[in-house]
Amino acid sequence: MSSPPPLEMDSTEKRNSCGAIRTEPLATGPEIAGQPYSVSILKEGYCLAQPDGSTRADGTISLLQGPKTILVDTGGPWDRDFLLGRLREKGLEPDDISIVVGTHGHSDHVGNLGLFPGAMLVVGCDVSQGDRYLPNQLAEGRPYPIDDNVSIIPTPGHTGRDVSVLVKGTPVGTVLVAGDLFEHCADEDTWRELSENPVVQEVSRQEALQIADVIIPGHGAPFRVCRDLGD
């Protein structure tokens, strides 16, 4: 991905060649039922500054159910029993998960990969099945398609090798499960301090806002992207 020019924008609305982009909370809640894929938020991530200067944080855990059963992020190690319980509520055991995507390598997103040794693992730009690492071009900026509706796309910046999961054709349009590309709906004043490369991440965010109708962020509730065409 080429280096972008610095962008100037305010915290509530962004302008671009297609007009204004706004974001607003998604009203449907944590379940987006659809065909061929449903999207469920098993745990809504959070990031809470504490009075002692520490931060309490956990990453959003999402489940796609359709032709493949895909878990996107696994929460932190402390979520082990919670995650197993939430999967059982869906009638699933760990062996039923066909693909586990870790959007990036932070501990609150990939803390339970060990529950899924039989799944295809996509962690950042590494794609593996068991000890077999599969060729891909995520690090070169190319998507890794799963099927006609789901693809894994590179969205770097928060770390060097973040990926997001793009789900097309849901009842709310195209959903992007975005890891920490977006911290939460109104993160414009805070995401840069958590970013390894804000310039690259800004480009990834702008591209995401052009293709997604709904974004599931890494540490907050899902939100809708409203593109008002024209000026």
Q: Give min distance, CB of 124 to Fe ion, in A.
A: 11
Q: Give min distance, CB of 190 to Fe ion, in A.
A: 13
At 55, which amino acid appears? Answer: T
- Measured from the CB atom, the residue of 38 and 190 that comes closer to Fe ion is 190
Q: Which of 160, 216, 213, 210 is nearest to 184 (CA)?
A: 216
- Measured from the CB atom, the residue of 71 and 178 that comes closer to Fe ion is 178
- Measured from the CB atom, the residue of 32 and 122 that comes closer to Fe ion is 122
Cβ contacts of 24 within 8 Å, gap of 6 or more: 185, 223, 224, 226
- Measured from the CB atom, the residue of 111 and 222 that comes closer to Fe ion is 111
Q: Give min distance, CB of 30 to Fe ion, in A.
A: 21
Residue 106 sits in the site that holds Fe ion (CB under 5 A)? yes
Among the listed ranges 84-92, 106-114, 130-138, 147-155, the one in contact with Fe ion (CB under 5 A) is 106-114
- Measured from the CB atom, the residue of 64 and 181 that comes closer to Fe ion is 181
Q: Give min distance, CB of 149 to Fe ion, in A.
A: 26
Among the listed ranges 132-140, 172-180, 181-189, 203-211, the one in contact with Fe ion (CB under 5 A) is 172-180
Per-residue tokens: 138? 């995520």
Q: Give min distance, CB of 104 to Fe ion, in A.
A: 6
Q: Give min distance, CB of 158 to Fe ion, in A.
A: 6
Among the listed ranges 5-13, 137-145, 146-154, 180-188, the one in contact with Fe ion (CB under 5 A) is 180-188
Q: In the 3-class helix/strand/coil scheme, how is the chain assigned residue by residue? A: CCCCCCCCCCCCCEEECCEEEEEEECCCCCEECCCCCEEEEEECCEEEECCCCCEEEECCEEEEECCCEEEECCCCHHHHHHHHHHHHHCCCCHHHCCEEEECCCCCCCCCCHHHCCCCEEEECCEEEECCEECCCCHHHCCCEECCCCEEEEECCCCCCCCEEEEEEEECCEEEEECHHHCCCCCCCCCHHHHCCCHHHHHHHHHHHHHHCCEEECCCCCCEEEEEEEEC
Residue 219 sits in the site that holds Fe ion (CB under 5 A)? no
- Measured from the CB atom, the residue of 66 and 218 that comes closer to Fe ion is 218
**Binder of Fe ion out of 73, 180, 187, 202 (CB under 5 A):** 180
Which residues form the interface with Fe ion (CB under 5 A)? 106, 180
